[in-house]
């Protein structure tokens, strides 16, 4: 079930003045040696936070960060750098708790001054968080009047701060970031122009199988690249040397190809591939046709002819959804296919949506992200949303719309 915008309530539909408002943000930022290397997610959260501050709320923020073991404080995963970034952007004192469920939290909220906000320590420092423990959800909920979920990237996970808590606070709503995600995805699902082209790449067929089946109800063509393409090419009988292939997914790939054919949907696969002797940027490499792919090489990118053909097809699209790189784009020598596709998506006059993860990194490396209609903040969440799966965080907000 896909949640539509009108099925949940948003932060601007509830009274916030003097209320204890907990905003579940996505502050899962990259940190190196205590310094945030990309603060996009902090900046993206400011709209809802500022709205709550401007409307007189007592603001308490929380997020997970990385993958701590759970059960105790771990310096490496502390929210301290996030607190410093927030203080800079909001020009407020940011009080960081020692643990998310700190004993002093109630008093801290009671005593909060108008120039202060509270940031809870990494929510995953408490092991009950990931377990979606009901007793813990009720305990956390007792500190807040209004719960605002603005973390789309974790909407597919049922944890206390993303799901459980929503059932035990007086008001449970979504923030502006989630609103934008839903509006942009809803447009692509309900109100799209044809030709609609999906571009799928990355490592695994298994990760994208659900979304391929669902997209087949709407799209005209599916362009496939990355290691995923190798499995489809193997299903068509090509031998691709040492390339990464999911042998246990070859039958599935055959079924997808047959299903697409019966629906009149074209699945475009590479016609040539860049092969390398090793999984290494400096490895010897060249472009090969499928028939002549050497036994001792591995495909690490689509070839030039394929990139050109994909690009021409994308330029004619009116709606584009893209998830996953066309090759090992982290290595300069194998990034060409992904970059060519990125340029085509941004120069096409299509309504374009990019579903998180590595394709976003590719677009950002070219400084093209503002030429995309929507760059989703959720990789896994956006795929599950498009697959039609009911994301637990959104389901909880739906049930709270009327009570």
Catalog residues that contact ligand AMP under the rule CB under 6 A.
Answer: 202-204, 207, 226-227, 244, 299-300, 324-325, 327-328, 330, 357-358
Question: Which residue has its beta carbon closest to ligand AMP?
Answer: 202
Which one of the listed residues 20, 41, 58, 124 is annotated catalytic? Answer: 41
Return the biggest CA–CA distance within the chain.
72
Q: Give the residue ranges of DSSP H helices in 55-175.
A: 80-90, 105-110, 128-131, 134-141
Residue 197 Cα distances to 44, 272, 282, angstroms: 28, 21, 34
CB of 357 to ligand AMP, least distance (A): 5
Inter-helix orientation angle 336-347/358-365, to 10°: 80
CB of 236 to ligand AMP, least distance (A): 16
Active-site residue flag, 357 = yes
Report the C-alpha gap between 130 and 115 in whole angstroms. Answer: 32
* Residue 279, CB-side half-sphere exposure with 13 Å CA sphere: 7
> Which residues, at least 6 apart from 111, have a Cβ–Cβ distance to it below 8 Å?
none
Nearer to ligand AMP, 108 or 361 (CB): 361
CB of 330 to ligand AMP, least distance (A): 5
Report the C-alpha gap between 205 and 354 in whole angstroms. Answer: 18
Cross-strand pairs, 375: 354
Nearer to ligand AMP, 150 or 358 (CB): 358
Nearer to ligand AMP, 65 or 326 (CB): 326
Report the C-alpha gap between 249 and 246 in whole angstroms. Answer: 5
Nearer to ligand AMP, 108 or 331 (CB): 331
CB of 99 to ligand AMP, least distance (A): 32
Nearest to 175 by CA among 40, 5, 39: 5
Which one of the listed residues 56, 70, 210, 380 is annotated catalytic? Answer: 380
Q: Which residues of 44-82 are buried (b: 16+ CB within 10 A; e: fewer)?
A: bbbbbbebbbebebbbbbbbbbeebebeeebeebbbbbb
CB of 167 to ligand AMP, least distance (A): 32
Nearer to ligand AMP, 37 or 114 (CB): 37
Nearer to ligand AMP, 156 or 179 (CB): 156
Which one of the listed residues 303, 357, 378, 379 is annotated catalytic? Answer: 357
Q: Are 304 and 280 in contact (CB under 8 A)?
A: no
CB of 327 to ligand AMP, least distance (A): 5
Active-site residue flag, 380 = yes
Residues annotated as catalytic are 41, 204, 357, 380
């Amino acid at each position: 079930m896909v949640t539509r915008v009108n099925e949940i309530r948003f932060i601007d539909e509830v009274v916030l003045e003097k209320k204890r408002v907990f905003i579940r943000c996505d502050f899962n930022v990259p940190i190196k040696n205590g310094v945030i290397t990309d603060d996009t997610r902090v900046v993206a959260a400011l709209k809802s936070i500022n709205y709550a501050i401007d409307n007189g709320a007592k603001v308490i923020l929380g997020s997970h960060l990385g993958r701590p073991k759970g059960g105790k404080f771990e310096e490496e995963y502390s929210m301290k750098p996030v607190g410093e970034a927030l203080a800079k952007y909001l020009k407020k004192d940011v009080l960081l708790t020692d643990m998310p469920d700190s004993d002093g939290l109630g008093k801290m909220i009671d005593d909060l001054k108008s120039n202060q906000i509270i940031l809870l320590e990494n929510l995953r420092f408490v092991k009950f968080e990931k377990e979606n423990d009901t007793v813990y959800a009720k305990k956390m909920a007792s500190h807040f009047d209004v719960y605002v979920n603005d973390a789309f990237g974790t909407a597919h996970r049922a944890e206390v701060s993303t799901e459980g808590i929503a059932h035990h606070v007086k008001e449970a709503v979504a923030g502006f970031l989630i609103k934008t995600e839903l509006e942009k995805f809803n447009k692509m699902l309900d109100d799209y122009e044809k030709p609609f082209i999906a571009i799928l790449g990355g490592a695994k067929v298994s990760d994208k199988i659900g979304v391929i089946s669902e997209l087949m109800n709407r799209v005209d063509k599916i362009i496939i690249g990355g290691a995923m393409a190798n499995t489809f090419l193997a299903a068509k009988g090509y031998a691709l040397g040492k390339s990464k292939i999911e042998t246990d997914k070859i039958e599935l790939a055959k079924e997808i190809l047959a299903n697409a054919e019966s629906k009149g949907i074209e699945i475009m696969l590479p016609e040539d591939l860049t092969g390398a002797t090793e999984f290494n940027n400096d490895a010897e490499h060249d472009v090969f046709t499928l028939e002549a792919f050497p036994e001792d090489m591995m495909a690490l990118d689509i070839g030039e002819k394929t990139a050109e053909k994909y690009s021409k097809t994308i330029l004619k699209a009116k709606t584009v959804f893209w998830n996953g790189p066309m090759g090992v784009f982290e290595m300069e020598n194998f990034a060409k296919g992904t970059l060519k596709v990125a340029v085509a998506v941004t120069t096409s006059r299509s309504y374009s949506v990019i579903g998180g993860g590595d394709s976003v990194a590719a677009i950002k490396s070219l400084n093209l992200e503002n030429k995309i209609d929507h760059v989703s903040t959720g990789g896994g969440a956006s795929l599950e949303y498009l697959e039609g799966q009911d994301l637990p965080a959104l389901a909880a907000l739906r049930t709270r719309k009327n009570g």
